[in-house]
Amino acid sequence: MRALKTLLIILLAVVALAAVLGLTGPKRSEVSRSAMVNAPSDVVYNHANSLQHIAAWSSWGKKDPAMKLTYSGPDGAVGQSGTWEGNSKVGSGSQEIIALEPDRRVELALHIKQPFEAEASADLVLEPIGDSTKVTWTYSAVNNFMNRIYLAFNDMDKMIGPDFEEGISQLKSQAEEDARTKEAEARAKTYRGFTITPVERQETVYAGHRTIVKWGDLDNFLAKEFSIATKAAAKSEVGVTGAPTALVYKWDEGGKQVDLFGGLPIDASKGSAITGCDLVTIPGGKAWMIAYHGDPAGTEEAHKAMDQMLKDKGLELRSPVIEEYTFANTQEPDTGKWITNIYYPVKEVATQPAE
């Protein structure tokens, strides 16, 4: 009888202790780790904006290589969800992307089933600092009654903090490797300080006029032709499909003049004709492009860079050179915001048939 009474007292004491711990234990848990990544925030973000990307650097994959992962919903978008199920080291649960701020923030909602039930969040915050990015990964949860008892004897930071450190370290390695690759690719495309990229142009029909113009009259000629083509297209009810354009057939240094066509690209899908304008068709095909920022009067160095690049690659120009003026200088006085797209169409290199 005395033993039973003692056992009852012990049981009541345990229940009372559990009640006290459940009521007074930590109501919230938060674990956070940060790292400085030597990569721009957009590069880092591309490694964190989908559940698959996160799984590629998260440390839990190492804890259970056989862990079962499933995904549903749009990849890399709000609403993407997934589940995981593994050994005792990783447990099981589900997660969902609930918010994305490109290059700045990724928010995940977690429902943990094992090793304990919990509703939590896991947020990644990206803070650009110069050419680098400070990444902070934070786990946050409101603890229920049972979790408060559990956490009275267990330190959440010690439990998952090392996993966060390892994961964010792997994110850092992947993003920095990606940034180095992109930088090397950009250097390979740079000539004389200009980035030159290959593009595929569609066949385009232009409405305007071609003539030989003295250098000093070039701006006035183009402004006049752009105005004529705009009015003529509207009068003929023909759609304009792009920016005002100059087609440069020959740049004559000795005579200080240029053979060019000035006009607008039009929708000629129905065989349109425009009264008062000539039509020129430029075939589609491969071209190389520079997006020049500034007053187009200063594009000389960009053209020299393009000439050098074609020479180095053994490419032959398929005349004419194309300049697209994507700005309206009457509406944007800041020339730093003017962009001229310069295209050098090139002849395709014939491939040798296999013997």
**Percent of the chain predicted with pLDDT > 90:** 57
pLDDT of residue 155: 67
Q: How confident is the model at residue 50 (pLDDT cuts 50, 70, 90)?
A: very high
* Gap between the Cα atoms of 206 and 169, Å rounded: 54
Does 26 have pLDDT greater than 80?
no
pLDDT of residue 322: 97
* Gap between the Cα atoms of 194 and 191, Å rounded: 5
Within 4-67, strands assigned E span 28-37
Give the fold, CATH level 3, of 22-187.
Alpha-D-Glucose-1,6-Bisphosphate; Chain A, domain 4 (3.30.530)
Does 184 have pLDDT greater than 60?
yes
**Secondary structure of 49-68 in the HEC alphabet?**
CCHHHHHHHCCHHHHCCCCE
| Residue 177: partners with Cβ closer than 8 Å, 6 or more residues away | none
pLDDT of residue 274: 85
Q: How confident is the model at residue 152 (pLDDT cuts 50, 70, 90)?
A: low
Sort residue 43 into left (φ over 0), alpha (ψ -120 to 50) or beta.
alpha
Q: Report domain 197-345's class.
A: alpha beta
Does 10 have pLDDT greater than 50?
no
β-strand pairing of 118-129 with 204-214 = unpaired
Task: Summarize the confidence of residues 43-57 as an average pLDDT.
Answer: 93
Does 350 have pLDDT greater than 60?
no
* Gap between the Cα atoms of 19 and 298, Å rounded: 78
Residue 218, Cα to own-chain centre: how many angstroms? Answer: 38
pLDDT of residue 344: 97
* Domain parsing of the chain, residue ranges: 22-187, 197-345
pLDDT tens sequence across 95-129: 999 999 999 999 999 888 887 777 888 899 999 99
pLDDT of residue 20: 40
Least confident of 202-206, 215-219, 349-353: 349-353
